[in-house]
Chains A and B, each alone.
Chain A
Amino acid sequence: MPEYTLRIRRYDPQSGEAAYWEDHTVEMGAKQSVLDAILKIKDDTDGSIGIRCSCQQAICGSCGVRMNGKPGLACNTHLDEAAERGHGTGWNPGLAAGAEAEELGGEREDVIAVEPMGNMPVIRDLIVDMDAVHWKKIQRVTPWLINKEPVPEREYIVPHENMVDVTQTMACIQCGACVSDCLSMEVDPGFIGPAALSKAYRFVGDPRDAEPKERLKDLSEDEHGIYDCTHCFNCIDACPKGVDPMSQIMRLRRRAGDEYHINDRNNGNRHERAFVTLVRDYGLLHEAELLPRSYGGDSWFGKFHPAAAGELLSSMPSAIPAVMRGKISPKLAALGHKIPKQDLKSVQEIYKQVDDPEHEVELNLYVTGYEDETPEHSPHDDEPDDHPGETVGAEEREAPAESSVPEPEEDER
């Protein structure tokens, strides 16, 4: 059996000492989980290692940790998979921490660094304070159904698809992995964040809820709300249950903007619209127009609006050096990009298809699965992309691209 070194981040608040790394070696099958290894170490050598865990089947959500730099559940992460991660990236402090890293001049391939999740205070070893961050944010989104009146005598009659839709966010196990690596939250600890906003979608998307509009208004107007997400995809990578928190945040934005026409005071919706219009009209983003239109109105005349003027003035300190250093030419700033006519037409064709009213609200229908085609591989083929879960994942990621508005990049805000 292969040997693995678990480099565990230890911290005991009563000791008065700072956190440190501690190595434990285990001999275990490569397909055993990281949690199996930690439990074995606890059983055999050191019962004082603190980690929350219970079900061992990725449903209770207790054992969220970072393994070789990436957040996830210790119970469904195989040892070989964890060991492969994060080598040579420089973002894994655990791998570089051991004495041998200096001696060997590199990282050992059999080391799995296990540390507590990020963005939350550490209580002890691998245990973080989820109440202080995660659950506080969950409570922020009014996390219960506000019943549509009158409450029927029997069940609410609602479309099958809508229940499947909210079941994707219902599948969240509140493990905190997405919160751990949310980049926006790192910069703005007030950000409501991926888990809580997914929870919000669970109500906004639920046809039995009486106040989707009020919820959306609340989450749009909050400066730490839905427009605070920067589309970094970390939460989608982190989520062990396929909840796709970022996609839920985008669904909230779409409902807020398209369905309820909520123009928030953070200018999030206007910014998004201006972005989309500019790409439609020019085929590429017309950067110089983006700011004035976001504030002054979504047309060429936007820049003459008083609100735009202020914003334009305030952007001069960064715009002028950009022009001076040749990052943008005055001509490009004035006229925008020009692409071949045929290409522009193709871009606009995409818009036509996406704007089709039938696609206006897209649902999380990935859990509905899809029609079975004849398998391309034999049943015993071990090719990873033959795994159904991943195929489902691919499907679900492709679907929005067909049916939704292209996402604007948010990094200029």
Chain B
Amino acid sequence: MPSHDVLIIGAGLAGQRAALAAAQEGASVAIISKVHPVRSHSVAAAGGINAALNPEDSWESHAFDTVKGSDYLGDQDAIEIMTREAPNEILWLEHAGVTFHRNESGHLGTRAFGGASQARTYYVADITGHAILHVLYEQLMKHHETVNRYEEWFTTDVLLDDDGRCVGAICRNLKDGRLELFNAKATILASGGAGQAYKPTTNGLIVTGDGIAQAYRVGAKLMDMEMIQYHPTTLAGNGLLITEGARGEGAWLLNAEGDRFMESYAPNKLELASRDVVSRAEQTEINEGRGFDDGTVALDITKVPRRRTLEALREIVNIGRDFAGVDITREPIHIRPGMHYIMGGVKTDTDGLTTIPGLYAAGEVACVSVHGGNRLGANSLLDTLIFGRRSGEHAAKRALQMPMPSSPLSRLAETEREIDSILNREPGGPRIGAIKNELGETMNEYVAVFRDEDGLAKALEIVQRLKEQASKASIDDRGSVFNQDMIAAIELGYMLDCAEAIVVAAQERKESRGAQFRLDFPERNDDEWLKHIDITVNGAGPPKVSYSPVTITRWQPEERTY
């Protein structure tokens, strides 16, 4: 039985940063990931990472932009921590080897991004997430003596002892199907969001809400689950992401009549308003008949000098060519809002601790909450790194002062039985792919940019029916070497749990704030709803709803215009 001071589940930016920080503190560390770390979906983050590093900028300005972007639902103590620590984190990355863009004088250069009052986004072309993820992995290879990597191990459960304290996790080695109980003094969930509960989504196939569901199932509180970010610029057919960097570099949004419609929605910031604002504007244009026949509007990147596009936006040049057949340097590309990010997640404090002792969460899986109702572009990489590091440090310091807890070994046999019962399901049941498609399309129809009571009720009904079906979904593969079919069955359960929490929270919030826009409650209502919605598991019944206050330090809610 492997035993470590700190066990980290997920090896994207948050997980790897947590691992390095915990090892730095002197703890023995294991990092587990169901895919090779560099395949983690952080790799797809394109545009950049925010920090008030310029002398003319200030963390207060960055913090205010973030608070305003969150539609005042973000917790201001956490936002202060994140924005204050951002500059040092950028420098840490730079020293670790990230090849950040330099300006002509050789200093770090920035680009503009949505919802920001200053150009404070640091970047590597439009592969910022990829560049940072690969550099962190370089550091993991460097520190291979202190950080144990378990690559391609799938986590099935997080484990609590009889006192309700998290003592590790059960994981399956995908290469041979072996189950192992990982014993740990502290466990950090860093396994990302739940984008695959939607279809289409910008998120990769691996983003299936594992960590959110695992924590939820053992009783951890989820928070802000109704806040689903629709990114303003995704490709019509497959939902692929066109980075906000395009608009940061000067691209325009045009409707089918050729109007730069953002002039009437956000006269000051135009295309660089917050993502919720831009996505709503686009969807309004489309719904009111000013979009193209394929349900889109146009992003005109030809406004950006071609040379600049080829240098700084080369990934989306390729995406346009390979996935839409469009040369974005020569003609506008059709885009629409698409599911991109979940602001909510496992509720944590500013050290990453969840409501369960010994269990931490960081990155998209977590909700600190620094993003509140709407995340600003280029704040997610920052979130993963700041709170990944803080979780790693805190977990390590705690772990070094305590003995190794004993783990309930019997749980291993229990999990073994659960897996066997999946493998032994009767053939001829519903197909996993079909259930997943119906789930994704349902969420994208009823729990999207605009929502209302009827739609949400319908969504909940469908999700609950799909949960029933999922327990009988058939499996084609009964082997133990890379049995992806069996893993897909487990992941489907995770996605359904997340979807249910999202719908219930969206039903609960009877106002419009950030990414939640209720057609039946179109105004923000600070008197009743300036509070977080918390969701907890309730046996086999529908999730339980409770509330927690928003932390306000210095920025009182104001009207929000861009």
Contact = CB atoms under 8 A, between A and B. Distances in A.
Contacts of B479: 12, 14, 48
A158 B106 contact: yes
A46 B35 CA distance: 22
Given A123-B482, A145-B96, A372 B139 contact: no
Contacts of A159: 102, 106
B97 A58 contact: no
Contact of B481 (A123, A138, A172, A203): A123
A22 to B, nearest CB: 13
B35 A58 contact: no
A78 B322 CA distance: 8
Given A53-B205, A143-B141, A167-B125, A47 B485 contact: yes
B417 interface: no
B218 interface: no
B247 interface: no
A112 interface: no
B477 interface: yes
B127 A170 contact: yes
A316 interface: no
Contact of A156 (B39, B94, B319): B94
A166 interface: yes
A388 B329 contact: yes
Given A47-B475, A123-B482, A166-B99, A59 B35 contact: no
A31 B452 CA distance: 37
Contacts of A123: 175, 481-482
Nearest to A60: B39
Nearest to A48: B477
Interface string A238-272: 00000000000000000000000000000000000
A170 B142 contact: no
Contacts of A50: 481-482, 484
B95 interface: yes
Interface string B90-124: 01001111011111111111000000000000001
Contacts of B91: 154-155
A223 to B, nearest CB: 24
Nearest to A164: B311
A157 B95 CA distance: 11
Given A144-B97, A206-B97, A57 B314 contact: no
Given A53-B205, A160-B103, A372-B305, A167 B317 contact: no
A371 B307 contact: yes
Contacts of A54: 35, 39, 41, 204-206
Contacts, number: 203
Given A31-B325, A163-B100, A388-B310, A47 B481 contact: no
Q: Which among A31, A371, A388 has the greatest number of chain B C-beta atoms within 10 A? A: A388
B44 A372 contact: no
B306 interface: yes
A145 B327 contact: no
Interface string B26-44: 0000000001101111011
B131 interface: yes
Contacts of B555: none
B124 to A, nearest CB: 6
A369 B131 CA distance: 20
Given A55-B204, A60-B41, A143-B141, A367 B311 contact: yes
A317 interface: no
Interface in A84-105: none
B336 interface: no
Nearest to A145: B97
Interface stretch (A124-132, A277-285, A353-361): A124-132
Interface in A293-334: none
Nearest to B203: A55
A137 B134 CA distance: 16
A50 B481 CA distance: 9
Given A47-B476, A157-B107, A127 B307 contact: no
A144 B307 contact: no
B124 A170 contact: yes
B511 to A, nearest CB: 35
B526 interface: no
Q: Which among B106, B131, B331 has the greatest number of chain A C-beta atoms within 10 A? A: B106
B484 A167 contact: no
Contacts of A375: 330
A302 B21 CA distance: 57
Interface in B286-328: 305-311, 314-315, 317-319, 321-323, 325, 327
Contacts of A56: 204-205, 238, 240
Nearest to A377: B330
Contacts of B107: 155, 157
Contacts of B205: 53-56
Nearest to B202: A57
B469 interface: no
Contact of A392 (B108, B131, B310, B477): B310
B434 interface: yes
A380 B314 CA distance: 20
13 contacts: A12-B479, A42-B485, A43-B433, A47-B485, A60-B35, A145-B96, A147-B95, A160-B101, A163-B100, A167-B125, A170-B131, A367-B310, A388-B327
Interface of A: 12-14, 31, 42-44, 46-48, 50-62, 76, 78, 123-125, 127, 130-131, 138-139, 143-145, 147, 151, 154-160, 163-164, 166-167, 170-174, 203, 206, 208, 367-372, 375, 379-380, 386-389, 392
Given A158-B102, A160-B103, A206-B97, 18 more contacts: A47-B484, A50-B482, A54-B35, A55-B204, A57-B240, A59-B43, A60-B41, A61-B39, A76-B322, A123-B482, A124-B482, A144-B139, A155-B100, A159-B102, A163-B101, A370-B310, A388-B329, A389-B321
Interchain residue pairs A-B with the least CB separation, the first 4: A43-B433, A369-B310, A145-B97, A48-B477
